[in-house]
């Protein structure tokens, strides 16, 4: 929202706002912007930014600096899955500075990469990616069917196929989690983001994960 001398002025997002008037002493311009926190990604053909997001709060771009994480390679830092898990705070920074807080994850490269530029591709990951790509194609097919005003039953059939594919993907991921992070807890097969847990905590995590998956 843009106000000039107490009066609102229409503005269009993405365009310049022009103010032309005869100014009087004490008049001021006030600009209010939505300051929601969001992730923004670049075009997929910009390979230098593949797998990366920018964190924005309104028009402000935030960054993580190596000087603040001297014992961590920033390439190994993963943000929360959604910006909804980031909280805004004015505590702990310079005067007037707004800080974003959130619990991320540090996932160093697997030991199999040490001293290597290439390695054999992980077949399980390749299989998961193939499933995901097929699901994306099916979901895009639903959008096309709606655009083409296809018969409702045909669209519902396609939706059912996507749901079935997602269930299959979930089962495969759940199986991999149990094999690597539950049965393989404390071994090299465990994911680098997994936290040390007792047997009771592992069982509680399985129950929670199953509960989310079966909703």
Name the pLDDT band for 119 (thresholds 50, 70, 90). low
- Most confident option among 43-47, 105-109, 150-154: 150-154
Work out the percent of the chain whose per-residue pLDDT is above 90.
11
Indicate whether 99 pLDDT > 80.
Answer: yes
* Per-residue confidence (pLDDT) for residue 159, from 0 to 100: 93
Superfamily classification of domain 119-213: Metal-sensitive repressor, helix protomer (1.20.58.1000)
- Most confident option among 12-26, 85-99, 150-164: 150-164
Q: Higher model confidence: residue 62 or residue 111?
A: 62
Helix or strand or coil: residue 99? Answer: strand
Helix or strand or coil: residue 56? Answer: strand
* Per-residue confidence (pLDDT) for residue 7, from 0 to 100: 87
Domains of the chain, residue spans: 1-32, 37-109, 119-213
Q: Which whole number is the average pLDDT over 8-24?
A: 86
Secondary structure letter of residue 128 according to DSSP:
H
Distance CA 87, CA 98 (A): 10
- H helices, E strands: number in the chain: 3, 10
Digit-coded pLDDT (tens) for 170-210: 888 888 777 777 776 666 555 666 667 777 887 887 888 88
């Amino acid at each position: 929202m843009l106000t000039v001398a107490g009066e609102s002025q229409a503005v269009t997002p993405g365009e310049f706002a022009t103010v032309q008037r005869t100014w009087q002493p004490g008049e001021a311009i006030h600009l209010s912007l939505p300051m929601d926190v969001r992730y923004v990604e670049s075009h997929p053909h910009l390979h230098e930014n593949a797998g990366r997001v920018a964190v924005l709060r309104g028009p402000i771009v935030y960054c993580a600096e190596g000087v603040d994480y001297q014992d961590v390679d920033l390439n190994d830092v993963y943000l929360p899955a959604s910006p909804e898990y980031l909280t805004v705070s004015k505590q702990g920074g310079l005067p007037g500075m707004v800080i974003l807080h959130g619990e991320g994850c540090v996932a160093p490269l697997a030991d199999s990469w040490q001293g290597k530029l290439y390695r054999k591709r992980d077949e399980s990951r390749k299989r998961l990616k193939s499933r995901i790509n097929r699901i994306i194609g099916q979901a895009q097919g639903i959008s096309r069917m709606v655009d083409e005003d296809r018969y409702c039953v045909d669209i519902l059939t396609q939706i059912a196929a996507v749901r079935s594919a997602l269930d299959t993907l979930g089962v495969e991921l759940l199986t991999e989690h149990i094999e690597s992070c539950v049965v393989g807890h404390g071994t090299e097969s465990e994911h680098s983001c997994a936290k040390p847990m007792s047997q009771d905590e592992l069982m509680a995590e399985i129950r929670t994960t199953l509960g989310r998956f079966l909703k």
